[in-house]
Amino acid sequence: MALGNFARVVELSSTGVLQSTVTADTVVATGRPGQAFANPVLFQPSGDFIEGRLIGAGGENTDDQIFRFSETGVIDHSFSSTVFGFPGVNMNSPLTLGLQSNGKILVGGVPFGLARLNTDGELDTTFGSGGMVETPAGESLDSLLIQTDGKIVAIGGGRGPNSTFQLILARYLAN
């Protein structure tokens, strides 16, 4: 697995060990040209990895889509990869991913909300409302932490009084 950002490229083994050289091979492009945010990536214990993408035309009318790739970078077509977005929101963008102990995948981003996917990529309709939970006070959910008891801690930000940016911390009960 090779990861790159502009001119820096590193290659990691399936166990996360940094390789001393990068293997020259076919490049699998997973980024979206012109996207302001990096696509979040989550490595699974199997060596496969999950990537979140912004789908749509720029800053408006966008949704999220999650893809799974094998350790070698080949897209896994058995993963459903359903397009989803928070109702009533014009811009949806995945910024962070988390893996629960049961294999379910958490997706956080813009707006400050969480979606949960089953292991096959379908929205988990037992989570929140139709698979999603939104916290209206925030604009973006940037980081996730899953506690050992299963509770989810979300960190992000939003506009407060006088349009100042404020840190927002939310904790969701496990279910």
- pLDDT digit string (tens) for 113-140? 899 999 999 999 999 999 999 887 778 8
Q: What amino acid occupies position 19?
A: Q
Count of the separate structural domains present in the chain:
1
Please give the helix or strand (H or E) that residue 9 lies within, else none: strand 8-11
| Average pLDDT for the chain | 79
Give residues with Cβ within 8 angstroms of 49, minimum separation 6. Answer: 1, 41, 42, 43, 68, 69, 71
Sign of the dihedral defined by the CA atoms of residues 93, 39, 150, 167, in that order = negative
The 8-class DSSP code of residue 162 comes to G
- Label the pairing between strands 165-172 and 152-159: antiparallel
In terms of DSSP H, where are the helices of 100-149? none
Are 156 and 112 in contact by the 8 Å Cβ rule? The answer is: yes
Give residues with Cβ within 8 angstroms of 170, minimum separation 6. Answer: 112, 135, 138, 153, 154
Residue with the bigger pLDDT between 32 and 74: it is 74
**Cα dist. 64→35, 38, 115, 160, 166 in Å?**
13, 13, 10, 26, 25
What is the model's pTM?
A: 0.76
Backbone angles phi, psi at 14, to 5 degrees: -65, -20
pLDDT higher than threshold 50 for residue 35: no
Give the residue numbers spanning the domain of 112: 2-172
pLDDT in tens, 73-111: 889 999 987 888 887 777 788 899 999 999 999 999 888
Residue that is written with structure tokens 């080949």 in the block: 74
Q: What is the pLDDT of residue 2?
A: 45
